[in-house]
Amino acid sequence: MSARIPSLLLGFPLLLAPATLALGPQDSAQKTQASHKAQGSHKAQGSQTTPVEPAGPTSSPLVGNRLPTATLLADVPKLWRKGFASIQAEDCRKWLEVLSADDMEGRATGQPGFEKAARWVADRFREFGLEPVGENKGYFQMVPFAATQVASKTSWLALLDNDGQELLNIRVGRGLGGRITEASTKTMDFVFVLAKKAGDVDADKVRGKTVMLLDQSEMGPYGRTKGFVALMRARPASIVLIDEKQASLDPSAARSVRYTGGRQSQNLSGRCRRPNRYALTPGAAAQLLERAGLATHLDAKADGGTWAVVGFQLKTHIEVETKAVFACNVVGMIRGSDPRLSKEIVGIGSHLDHIGIRGSVINNGADDDGSGTTGLLAVARAFSMNRTKPRRSLLFMAFCGEEMGLIGSKHYAAHPIFDNRRMVAELQMDMIGRNEEHARTKEKAEDNINSLHLVGTQKLSDELHQICLDANDKYARFAFEYDEEDVFSRSDHVSFAKKDIPIAFFFTGFHPQYHRPTDTVDRIDFPKLARVARLVYAIAWETANRENRPKVDRTYTEVMEAQRAKRRKRQRK
């Protein structure tokens, strides 16, 4: 699941990840406010909540997630019973222990751990006998990514006088730092802001200007100060922060990894391309302000305010070295058995990447989305075990770059291996191994043992929604919840929905370990993970085998337009 950031602050996160990868560790709590009002009323819509019969003694205290007994297995059609029965919690545990182990380094796209994980998943696809439909008869669809690194010796910021004479030069790593990733040479007029409170930012003076900010205002929401938020609202062209902590982050020591597919102006993920943001140590800034005759503002008793600097300019010169890095979607196929219908495809997806190493801490990403990728493996192996295949083909996809803005799936949808019109549905598993838990709403894990979020199925195709309800009633008996529709745009399925492909997104919900180093394998509820995988397997079987593909009742554009209209109506009330 990718993170969400308030749009105002996009491009200006204060937290600098070591590799400036993705969006920075976000506060998980803010994402899940207001999402649980619908509890109860929406629970179990169209579905029975009868707990499944326990399967005899088990080490798991989670009775609700014990897998069905032999009697229940007998209800599974013989044609695909073997595959269904093959999905077992213990195999899932073995796979996820590998995917979320420390030596996979949190699987961040562009880091060595991701490549290792991709090769391991490809090996599993080979082991299960999936058809390699990637490049060069392999399992990889390569996705173009590059890492850039700032050259410290030739990157600097200087103070110039009116004649262009250099008065002071501050090099990267020696007083100049911040989040600097783009090559650039610029000479700019600048404005100095001493923000003791939000009102010290004069919006008219800073709009479109380069702002040197000494921020002494108090902390506001989202870990940003009130002065900083006021400055962002005024839309400066660029900023030079005076901040010891940020300036001491040497950009030449960090790699910035990003997608390089598509034209520069149309990068698939606008979120990964951000303007440089400079930071000076207070020491370097004091030297500079002194030379520019602004030193009085550094006095502890100085008043806050905004000053246009006359007679001086700032010049920045940044050089970067760029090299390509390994990134791919791992793709494998099981051909359908019907000569005509096998041209159509049911897509099954998860994201392989996570947020990697930050600072020196590994974010293992066991639930996000090691669990979904484990489910993907379980479903792929299950289909490979039945002698008879469903009529349509199945495409298994483990995406890269999801945490950086759904990049792998966007890349796939823009460069599909099989025409998008041939994909009849996409089923996504992202975070399927936990019991939802929120301190703020007092929602406890033990109350959610039996619950699963079914997201997005009521948007494009009523038929796919019905398939999900029926399969759940027969083979899984989860209490479906529909109170997390907000996450519809936050995982890879949306890249397919945008192509008007019906989607179903399976999600066991947020928890306090979301996007934290504590999202580890010991917290995973494996019987539940296997139960979700069995459900997805049953839905995939039905979707792939029925005569007609799920009808598209509403296009993505129509769905979004209806949603906007609803929001407008609500606001008017």
Which residues here bind Zn ion, judged by CB under 5 A? 1, 368, 403
In 284-344 the beta strands, taken as DSSP E runs, fall at 305-308, 312-318, 320-325, 328-334
**Residue 225 to residue 306: CA distance in whole angstroms:** 17
The token duo for 116 is 């290792």
The Cα-based distances of 477 to 21, 57, 393, 569 in angstroms read 39, 20, 26, 36
Buried b (16+ CB within 10 A) or exposed e, 81-95: eebbbbbbbebbbeb
Nearest-approach distance from CB 434 to Zn ion, in angstroms: 13
Backbone φ and ψ for 163, nearest 5 degrees, come out as -90, 5
Backbone φ and ψ for 124, nearest 5 degrees, come out as -65, -45
**Residue 284 to residue 287: CA distance in whole angstroms:** 5
Tell me whether residue 87 or residue 494 sits nearer to Zn ion (CB atom). Answer: 494
Tell me whether residue 65 or residue 371 sits nearer to Zn ion (CB atom). Answer: 371
Nearest-approach distance from CB 21 to Zn ion, in angstroms: 12
The token duo for 431 is 């975070």
At which residue do the structure tokens 């649980």 appear? 36
Helix residue spans in 473-552 (DSSP H):
493-497, 526-545
Nearest-approach distance from CB 451 to Zn ion, in angstroms: 20
Tell me whether residue 108 or residue 159 sits nearer to Zn ion (CB atom). Answer: 108
Nearest-approach distance from CB 399 to Zn ion, in angstroms: 12
- 3-state helix, strand, coil split of the chain in percent (to 5) is 35, 20, 40
Tell me whether residue 240 or residue 432 sits nearer to Zn ion (CB atom). Answer: 432
Nearest-approach distance from CB 431 to Zn ion, in angstroms: 7
The amino acid occupying position 407 is I
Tell me whether residue 215 or residue 403 sits nearer to Zn ion (CB atom). Answer: 403
In 39-98 the beta strands, taken as DSSP E runs, fall at none
Backbone φ and ψ for 98, nearest 5 degrees, come out as -70, -50
> DSSP class of residue 443?
B
At which residue do the structure tokens 């490809």 appear? 122
Nearest-approach distance from CB 1 to Zn ion, in angstroms: 4
Q: Cβ neighbours of residue 469 under 8 Å, at least 6 residues apart?
A: 46, 47, 480
Nearest-approach distance from CB 476 to Zn ion, in angstroms: 24
Nearest-approach distance from CB 224 to Zn ion, in angstroms: 22
**Counting beta carbons within 10 angstroms of the beta carbon of residue 570, is it exposed (0 to 12), middle (13 to 18) or buried (19 or more)?**
exposed
**Residue 417 to residue 409: CA distance in whole angstroms:** 12
The Cα-based distances of 526 to 101, 535, 570 in angstroms read 16, 14, 41
Nearest-approach distance from CB 354 to Zn ion, in angstroms: 6
Nearest-approach distance from CB 371 to Zn ion, in angstroms: 11
Nearest-approach distance from CB 527 to Zn ion, in angstroms: 23
